[in-house]
Amino acid sequence: MSWYRTRLTEEQERHGTEVFSVSDISRVVTGVLDDSRLQDIWIRGEVTNLRLHSSGHIYFSLSEKQDSGVALIHCVMWRSDAKRLTFSPRDGTDVIAFGSIGHYAPQGRYQFYAKDIRHAGEGEKHLLVERWKSELSSEGLFDPARKKTLPQYPERIGVVTSGTGAVLHDITHVVQRRYPLEILVSPTAVQGDQAHREIVQALSRIDGLVDVIIIGRGGGSFEDLFPFNHPDVVRAIAGCTTPVVSAIGHETDVTLADFAADMRAPTPSAAAELAVPDRAGLLQNLAETRKMMGSRLLSRLDRGAREIEDLRGRLTPGRLERRISERREDLASWTDRIRRAFVSKVERERLVIAGIKTAIDGQNPMHLLSRGYCILERDGQVVKSSSEIDTGDDAMVRLSDGRAELVIGKVYHDKKI
């Protein structure tokens, strides 16, 4: 042993080098691998050597075939991250994984510490959405300052969704129950490769024709909701002159369209509740206001009567009698005016309530239809003038209990009187 130490020292002196310990080298390697370019990165590869440990940790490798052979990176995902996975990876699965490169000193090798794993195709779309989000945010489309306020008492709302889905039924049901008004539907596909184009067109058709727009669809996978992340849809929503409420997917689903909308609702039904007021609540508020005003007026009358009675007791009998005699007619007249004013006020409030109820009922197109009127539509739009149709056009007439398709035989343009 002493001979070895002597030779080692002589070699050190001859070459002027330092002998490192294993831990020294390990620290150097760790420092090199701590490069920011190797932290919080995405890696694509094929899962191999997958092993699910009883502790909940996942051990695997990511491999890539090359002309010179196979490139391999050892990976580990700790239990706290593994339990958040939405799918179970298998050997041979093409994935992208998010994490950082680190040095595992006990085995003297570097490995990838994965925090998230996704199918390669879906994962790439997630990355694309993140890139879109950054770009659209830099354009100011998600700025809260640009969001518009919803109208308090809309007269017509628009719905951009599938023409046959449950979303339209839910919205219509809530509106008819809370605050009946006209609903204008701009139908569109809500999933598929070309859905984003149809959504943009549907928004363009209805913008400016209604007081508020609800854009929505039912729940679905990330792939199903992908069209609502498309920049074209986000820009179309942000560019609407009409306030837009988004109701896309379930409450836990968030799309870029939600960030651009003026308000987000967790469900289509909730969107309808945000878009229209509650008729019953309005009528109740009116009734409470009427009651409060009447109560205040009666209170003032009672207070005036008590003040008169107090003055009566403080004045001498003779003087009081004289003043009462002088003011009896004025007091009677004043009391009569107050009571008539109160009755008039109550009657005006009753007329206001009746007027609001009439206005609300008048907004329900079904009331008109039930009285024998009908609504003529062409290409999904309500025909308001004879100049909007021509001989041979296909049209649809909406009745109180159904619809009928027809072809315009001849159009007569009445002269304005």
250 vs 268: CA distance, rounded Å: 9
pLDDT at 3 over 50: no
Segment 117-140, tens digit of pLDDT:
887 766 667 778 888 999 999 999
Query: What's the pLDDT score for residue 304?
Result: 85
pLDDT at 75 over 70: yes
Share of the chain above pLDDT 90, in %: 35
Give the model's confidence band at 366: pLDDT under 50 very low, under 70 low, under 90 confident, else very high.
low
Please list, in sequence order, all residues whose beta carbon lies within 8 angstroms of the beta carbon of residue 411, skipping any fewer than 6 positions away: 386, 389, 390, 391
Query: What's the pLDDT score for residue 295?
Result: 86
- Domain made up of 139-275: CATH architecture: 3-Layer(aba) Sandwich (3.40)
Query: What's the pLDDT score for residue 77?
Result: 95
pLDDT at 388 over 90: no
pLDDT at 346 over 50: yes
* pLDDT (average), residues 284-313: 84
Q: Identify the CA nearest to 223 among candidates 244, 245, 202, 249.
A: 249
pLDDT at 4 over 60: no
Query: What's the pLDDT score for residue 273?
Result: 93
CATH 2.40.50.140 applies to domain 2-125: yes
How confident is the prediction for the chain on average, in pLDDT? Answer: 84
pLDDT at 402 over 60: yes
* pLDDT (average), residues 344-349: 82
Q: Structure pTM?
A: 0.49
327 vs 334: CA distance, rounded Å: 10
Contact indicator for 228, 235 with CB cutoff of 8 Å: no
Segment 242-254, tens digit of pLDDT:
999 999 988 888 8
**Residue whose entry in the numeric block shows the structure tokens 């996942």:** 58
Segment 320-341, tens digit of pLDDT:
566 666 777 777 777 778 888 8
Contact indicator for 53, 111 with CB cutoff of 8 Å: no
